[in-house]
Amino acid sequence: MYMTPKSGVLLLLSCIAAIASVGCVFELSSGVPQLGTTSTTVILAVSIPLTLITFILAVKDARANL
């Protein structure tokens, strides 16, 4: 089995964070974000590294279970 529950949860978190970051980019580019500029920027700043970190951890976990 290649994918463990841990790697599945990490991939889920990675997908959610990636969707949040794309949404924040669109909101900020619209000029008037619904949540405000500050909170949208904070969400974007947190979601980009979270996407990368959780994706890398998921791949490492899946490779460890080959």
pLDDT tens digits, residue range 8-38?
Answer: 999 999 999 999 999 999 999 999 999 999 9
Domain extent, residue 42, equals 5-64
- pLDDT at position 13: 98
Name the nearest CA neighbour of 65 among 12, 7, 10. 7
Q: Are 5 and 65 in contact (CB under 8 A)?
A: no
- Count up the domains in the chain and report the number: 1
Residue 46 and residue 6: Cα distance in Å, rounded? 21
Confidence of residue 1 (pLDDT cuts 50, 70, 90): low
Residues in the chain: 66
- Taking 3-state DSSP, the helix, strand and coil percentages for the chain, each rounded to the nearest 5, stand at 80, 0, 20
